[in-house]
Amino acid sequence: MGKRIFSLRNMIFQAFLILSLSFFAGMSVNQFRKQKIDLFSEDTSEERFRIDIKDAERLFFSKEAVFVDARPSYYYKKAHIKGAINIPPDKEIRNIRLPKERPIIVYCSEEGCGLSKELVFKLYALGYRNVYYLPDGIKGWKALGLPLESGK
């Protein structure tokens, strides 16, 4: 019995050592590499996907970007950015074909809505590298008086 307790303690001690070693190795290597991950930054992953509404507006009028509405179809039908396509959260995105050479701008309702970021990460995982999310959402777009449409 005493041996068993000792063995369990040994096991936990070893696990702790391996964890510590991994922590120090990971943190040290991370400091010196080009693709550094900033531990306390909320934007390490998200910053490169965020697009300013002014840039989105420019890409809209130059017709360079594809706009994607990430909200459920009910909201999309009520109003969406002119020309945007709808990819609601329940839709299987593996079969969707979007142009990889054009910027894809994803939006949802407003700041902090989450659906746009979620879709951007899914698209990125599927190989789309030119994807962005519009943090202001359709609310910010509407506030600037930019073109909307409804139906479809």
Give the footprint of another protein on this chain (CB under 8 A): 7, 10-19, 21-23, 25-27, 29-30, 33, 35, 37-42, 44-46, 90, 92-94, 118, 121-122, 124-127
Closer residue to another protein in complex, CB, 63/94: 94
Closer residue to another protein in complex, CB, 14/150: 14
> For the purposes of burial, counting CB atoms within 10 Å of the CB of 93, is it exposed (0-12), middle (13-18) or buried (19 or more)?
middle
* Rounded least distance, CB 87 to another protein, Å: 13
Give the DSSP per-residue string, 97-131: ---TTS-EEEE-SSTT--HHHHHHHHHHHTT--SE
DSSP 8-state code for residue 2: H
Closer residue to another protein in complex, CB, 126/144: 126
* Rounded least distance, CB 20 to another protein, Å: 10
* Rounded least distance, CB 22 to another protein, Å: 4
Closer residue to another protein in complex, CB, 49/60: 49
Burial letters for 22-59: b for 16+ Cβ neighbours within 10 Å, e otherwise?
A: eeeeeeeeeeeeeeeeeeeeeeeeeeebebebeebeeb
Residue type, 74: Y
Closer residue to another protein in complex, CB, 30/150: 30
* Rounded least distance, CB 114 to another protein, Å: 9
d(C-alpha 133, C-alpha 52), whole Å: 9
* Rounded least distance, CB 98 to another protein, Å: 12
